[in-house]
């Protein structure tokens, strides 16, 4: 990417990332991309006066999607609104601090992005999940609850990721499903930020 990288360019790269982002990244996915995200200027994003928090939310999300947990954390921890709390909660889930993740998810509340996330996650699980073919397990019960629930449940999702981490023989299909749900979550929350 050249020096004229736009937000749309960055989002397109992150959405096309293969394989999708791991549940617990260990290093920044693309260092050059991370620098470009950090160098985005408020005027480059078309921000008006008073929209700094919205811009910082976008940057926090872009850094997080690029596995730059520290940069995302630095931005999201200072955002005192539900979107900042949601990014903060995802970041702690990714680093494996599950109780702290739930704390921030509680502060995010029933975030508006969760409605679209719920719809997309349900659709994906129904069309591609093949949950009935999974062995009986707590992960399967959680995935069924996410598929059949009336709203997105971020706490159940944190529980599913935590269970997978501590499973002595983790089911690779469950990991792939959770990674796909995380991809949908990241995309929905980022698109919410961009629309705001």
Q: Where are the domains positioned within the chain?
A: 7-195
Is residue 11 within 8 A of residue 190, CB to CB? The reply is yes
Q: What is the Rg, in whole angstroms, of the alpha carbon atoms belonging to the chain?
A: 16
Q: Is the pLDDT of residue 112 over 50?
A: yes
* pTM over 0.75, yes/no: yes
Q: Is the pLDDT of residue 44 over 80?
A: no
What pLDDT is stored for residue 73 in this prediction?
Answer: 97
Distances (CA, A) of 102 to 132, 150, 154, 160: 28, 19, 8, 12
pLDDT band at 165, cuts 50/70/90? Answer: confident
What pLDDT is stored for residue 1 in this prediction?
Answer: 44
Q: In this predicted model, what pLDDT tens digit does every residue of 51-92 receive, in sequence order?
A: 778 889 999 999 999 999 999 999 999 898 999 999 999 999
3-state secondary structure 41-52: CCHHHCCCCCCH
Span of 27-36, 78-87, 134-143 with lowest mean pLDDT: 134-143
Q: Is the pLDDT of residue 3 over 90?
A: no
What pLDDT is stored for residue 85 in this prediction?
Answer: 96
What pLDDT is stored for residue 2 in this prediction?
Answer: 47
Q: Which residues contact 31 (CB under 8 A, 6 or more apart)?
A: none
Q: Quick one: average pLDDT of 151-177?
A: 92
Mean pLDDT of the chain: 91
Q: Percentage of the chain surpassing pLDDT 70?
A: 93
């Amino acid at each position: 990417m050249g020096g004229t990288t736009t937000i749309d360019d960055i989002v397109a790269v992150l959405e096309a990332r293969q394989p999708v982002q791991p549940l617990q990244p260990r290093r920044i996915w693309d260092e050059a991309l991370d620098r470009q995200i950090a160098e985005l200027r408020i005027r480059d994003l078309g921000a008006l006066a008073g929209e700094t928090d919205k811009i910082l939310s976008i940057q926090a999300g872009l850094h997080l999607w690029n596995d730059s947990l520290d940069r995302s954390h630095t931005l999201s921890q200072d955002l005192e609104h539900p979107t900042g709390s949601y990014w903060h909660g995802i970041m702690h889930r990714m680093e494996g601090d599950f109780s702290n993740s739930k704390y921030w998810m509680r502060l995010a509340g029933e975030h508006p992005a969760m409605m679209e996330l719920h719809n997309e996650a349900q659709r994906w699980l129904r069309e591609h999940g093949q949950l009935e073919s999974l062995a009986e397990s707590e992960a399967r019960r959680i995935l069924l609850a996410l598929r059949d629930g009336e709203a997105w449940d971020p706490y159940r999702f944190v529980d599913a990721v935590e269970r997978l981490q501590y499973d002595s023989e983790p089911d690779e299909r469950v990991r792939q499903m959770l990674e796909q749900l995380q991809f949908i979550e990241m995309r929905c929350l980022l698109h919410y930020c961009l629309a705001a």
